[in-house]
Copies of this chain bind each other. A is one copy, B any other.
């Protein structure tokens, strides 16, 4: 099959933690025509499992500090439970998929984050150059949908916990080397909102220029800053279209476009 365009879709905890939302999403995603890749985050399962096992969860600036015990937990939860659950659901919808950590097929190699200034433990960062696009091409040509979690590896035998938005961005940049790629970040809002309490205040377009302004005037804050930074990086590195929208609106054209 000749690959003319690729859809990369990222879902997060709000979809993963809600069985009905996840089932709905899987149905919608499966109906997307053509080559596609799903990237998923973790949700609350890892924290729940940590609590049950009496392992303390330490977050610094919204990121999980990943010691050896926590690495085992996120590997089990993201690459095991959630990934296989999604793959089985996709198969039931007739969408042939294979679940991936970054180690599988060496699809994404990461570098362990330096311990200075903050030691996050087994946490990795990704250079989009280290996305294995030749493997992605083989899979998409075989009409297989990769389902990628955010556990990557360093190529030397160590798994690393990465940020799922960054994984989605790197995968989309890598896919752009194969064919024009659309990257969609699904989350719980209709898009990036000018007024966080008003779902009708979706900002239709964010560019490098207005992002700076929107940050300065406080419209965009907290978790939206790294998400938009990833989105803008993707757009600047060859991804044809980047969009942030509600998972329910995946098939429509709504939400915020990032250029």
Q: Please give the residue numbers on chain A whose beta carbons come within 8 Å of chain B beta carbons, in ascending order.
A: 49, 52-54, 72, 75-81, 83-85, 87-89, 91-92, 96-101, 103-106, 135, 138, 142, 144, 151, 153, 155-159
Contacts and interface: CB of A to CB of B under 8 A. Distances in A.
Within the oligomer, what is the number of copies of this chain? 2
Contact of A87 (B81, B98, B104): B104
A141 B112 CA distance: 32
Given A53-B52, A98-B98, A91 B76 contact: no
A215 to B, nearest CB: 37
Nearest to A53: B52
Contact of A104 (B53, B92, B97, B151): B97
Contact of A144 (B52, B96, B105, B144): B105
B151 A84 contact: yes
Nearest to A80: B80
Nearest to A87: B103
B76 A159 contact: no
Given A76-B77, A81-B75, A92 B156 contact: yes
Given A49-B76, A52-B52, A85-B159, 6 more contacts: A49-B53, A52-B53, A75-B80, A79-B83, A98-B105, A99-B101
A9 to B, nearest CB: 18
A85 B91 CA distance: 25
Contacts of A88: 103, 153, 157-159
A97 B92 contact: no
A211 to B, nearest CB: 36
B84 A103 contact: yes
Nearest to A134: B142
